[in-house]
Amino acid sequence: MAPVSRILVAAFAMAILALPMAELGYVGAMPIHHPLLPKPDHAGFASVNGLKIWYGIYNPKGPDPVILLHGGLGSSVDWRNQIPALVGKHKVIVADSRGQGRSTRAGQPISYDLMMGDVLALMDHLKIKKAAFAGWSDGGIIALDIAIHHPDRISKLFTYGANFSPEGLIPDPSATAMSTLRIEMASLVDEHAETVRDVTEMWNEEPDFTPEQLGSIHIPTMIADGAHEEAIKPEHTRELAEMIPGAELAILPNVGHSGLLEDPADFNKLLVGFLDGTSRAPAENADLSSAQAAPTPSVSTRATETTTELAP
């Protein structure tokens, strides 16, 4: 199998190394904002599955909890632009995946199922029975895993830039790109080299969700991505939305894989509208290709095969 897209690995490797990506130029179509992660009302480490998982909580007494899951080789800082948009109406929880951000790994393996188990154990630790999930890339895959195997723990599902199979990744044309990047990462920060290696290898083998598994998801779901996606094939995103009963497909027109960082305003309008049930408004019929060219965020529904623009 061809190695996964180098741009995906590079973007997330920069995140784990805590480099200010705005200084590195552009990702996708727009410059990336880089404010600091808002200070949580409560933060700590949960001892789960032999690991220390870092978490932060905003508006701890708020209703309708939302758990934000970051991208692979990233951290909770990925969601820095979305937290302020959500805390007014929600209790917001962020967490760093095993071996990433501030969470430990303790020599344990990495897989989507194991990271799903960490999230569920964290929910138990925080006494959260059920929550809405928003996941970017790997975080979206973990959220899909929860929706499939633990539907009683998830109320709504929002994914951005997620794939259900390695076949959905855009292959890198260079056969040596992955090994070269691993050497570069190891030379920059030795303690993260093993995690970078294992996560990128995981991307070549996982996830492996079947149509039957995805068809078992029966909660409000939005599958979102950017029209300038660099890592996931557009047809793969459409197929993912079509396999989940009643799922909405949303394409942000001006961004790529890192849409939550590239254009926080449009991304937040989409996410908040979905979570709060305010994203629908009448619009003309359109398909995915026309949605990608549209000047405003669009949402298409599988049931009616129409496209609706977000309410202003």
Among 228, 224, 220, CA closest to 237: 224
Query: Dmax over Cα atoms in the chain, in whole Å?
Result: 53
- Tell me how crowded residue 42 is: count the other CB atoms within 10 A of its CB: 11
Distance CA 303, CA 196 (A): 40
**Cα–Cα distance between 207 and 200 in angstroms, integer?**
12
Q: With the CA atoms of 114, 120, 123 and 124 taken in that order, what torsion angle do they form, in degrees rounded to the nearest 10?
A: -110
User: How far apart, in whole angstroms, are the C-alpha atoms of residue 298 and residue 250?
Assistant: 6
Q: Is the bond into 295 cis (omega within 30 degrees of 0)? A: no
Per-residue pLDDT of the chain (312 residues; tens, 9 = 90+): 344 443 445 444 544 433 333 332 222 333 344 357 999 999 999 999 999 999 999 999 999 999 999 999 889 999 999 999 999 999 999 999 999 988 999 889 999 999 999 999 999 999 999 999 999 999 999 999 999 999 999 999 999 999 999 999 998 644 334 444 444 444 444 457 788 889 989 999 999 999 999 999 999 999 999 999 999 999 999 999 999 999 999 999 999 999 999 999 999 999 999 999 986 522 222 334 334 333 445 554 443 222 333 333
pTM: 0.81
Place of tokens 């995103």: 237
The CATH number that domain 6-309 falls under is 3.40.50.1820
d(CA 108, CA 114): 10
d(C-alpha 181, C-alpha 190), whole Å: 13
- Partner residues linked to 45 by β-bridges: 54
User: What's residue 101's pLDDT?
Assistant: 87
Give 114's DSSP letter: H
Q: What pairs with residue 31 in β-bridges?
A: 26
Q: Which two tokens stand for residue 3?
A: 């190695």
Q: What angle do CA 13, 136, 132 make, to 5 degrees?
A: 145
Question: Are residues 301 and 280 in contact, defined by beta-carbon separation less than 8 angstroms?
Answer: no
228 DSSP 8-state letter:
T
User: Residues 6 or more apart from 255 whose CB is under 8 A from it?
Assistant: 28, 29, 30, 226, 227, 228, 262, 263, 266, 267
